[in-house]
Amino acid sequence: MCAITLVRAKDMHTQGPDYQHLYEIAEGQAGYFTTRQARAAGFTAERLSSNVKNGKFLRVVRGVYRLRHFPASPYEQLFVAHLMTGDHSVISHESALALYDLSDVLPDAVHVTIPRTASRRRKRLRLHTNRLSRDETTRYMGLPVTTVARTVADVANNGLDETLVRQAIGEALRRGLVTVEELRHQAEKRGGRARKIILEMLER
C-alpha cells in the first residue's frame, strides 16, 4: 500500500501543473487567481513566470494573475480587490451598493472590509476594519459582500448623500433584496445617522 502511494505521488509530480484545476479556480473569480492558488494547482514560481512570458497569464498586481483569454466581467476590479486583501475580506460600503445596483453612487475607490489584523497597505483601495457578524455577509455575483441591510447602514453612517441612501433603501425593498425587519435591525444596532435615515424612510 505504501509502494502504491509513493508511485502515485511520483506520477502526480511528473505530470506538472494542473491547468484544468487552475481554470476551475479562476472561473469563479472572473478569470483571476492568486499565487497561492496557482501553487496549490502545482505551479512553481518559474512556471508562473513562463506562462506570463508566453502570454497565457497576465500579471495584474503583485500576487494576482489573470487567464489572458478569459471573458471580461464588469466586476473585475472587485474580484482583484478581494484577492489582493485575502479570503476574509468582503466588498462593502459604496462598492457593495454599486454591486447590488441600488443607487446612482459612483465609488471613487473599491471599498473592502478586512479583519483588524490584516495589512492595510493597499493602493487604490478604501479599507475598513469594521466588525462583521456572519449574518452580515453573503455572496452576490460570485463575490463576498456585506448584506444589503448592512451595506445601507455602512454608507449612511459613512456620510453618503442622504438622497442616495434613501434611493438604495427604496430600490432594495422594491426588488425584494432586503426586508423591513432586516433594515430596522441594522438601524437599531448601528444607531446614529443610519438609524435616523433608515427609520424615517421606513415610516414613509
Amino acid at 62: R
Model confidence at 123, pLDDT cuts 50, 70, 90, reads low
Q: Which residues contact 174 (CB under 8 A, 6 or more apart)?
A: none
User: In angstroms, rounded to a whole number, what is the distance separating the alpha carbons of residues 132 and 125?
Assistant: 19
CA distances from 59 to 26, 63, 68, 122 (A): 14, 8, 9, 17
Last residue of a domain, one of 22, 46, 67: 67
User: Are residue 91 and residue 21 in the same domain, yes or no?
Assistant: no
User: Are residue 32 and residue 86 in the same domain, yes or no?
Assistant: no
> Which three three-digit cell numbers place residue 136?
452580515
- Burial of 28-61, coded b for 16+ CB within 10 Å and e otherwise, reads ebbbbbbbebbeebbbeeeebeebeeeeebbebe
Question: Is the pLDDT reported for residue 121 higher than 80?
Answer: no
Q: Which residues contact 50 (CB under 8 A, 6 or more apart)?
A: none
User: In angstroms, rounded to a whole number, what is the distance separating the alpha carbons of residues 48 and 62?
Assistant: 12
pLDDT at 30: 96
User: Are residue 195 and residue 100 in the same domain, yes or no?
Assistant: yes
User: In angstroms, rounded to a whole number, what is the distance separating the alpha carbons of residues 64 and 87?
Assistant: 13
Model confidence at 158, pLDDT cuts 50, 70, 90, reads very high
> Which three three-digit cell numbers place residue 73?
466581467
Mean pLDDT, residues 126-149 taken together: 94
Model confidence at 194, pLDDT cuts 50, 70, 90, reads very high
Q: How many domains does the chain have?
A: 2
Question: Is the pLDDT reported for residue 11 higher than 80?
Answer: no
User: Are residue 47 and residue 146 in the same domain, yes or no?
Assistant: no
Q: Is 145 exposed, middle or buried (0-12, 13-18, 19+ CB in 10 A)?
A: buried
Which domain covers residue 13, as residue numbers? 2-67
pLDDT at 204: 82
Last residue of a domain, one of 47, 67, 87: 67
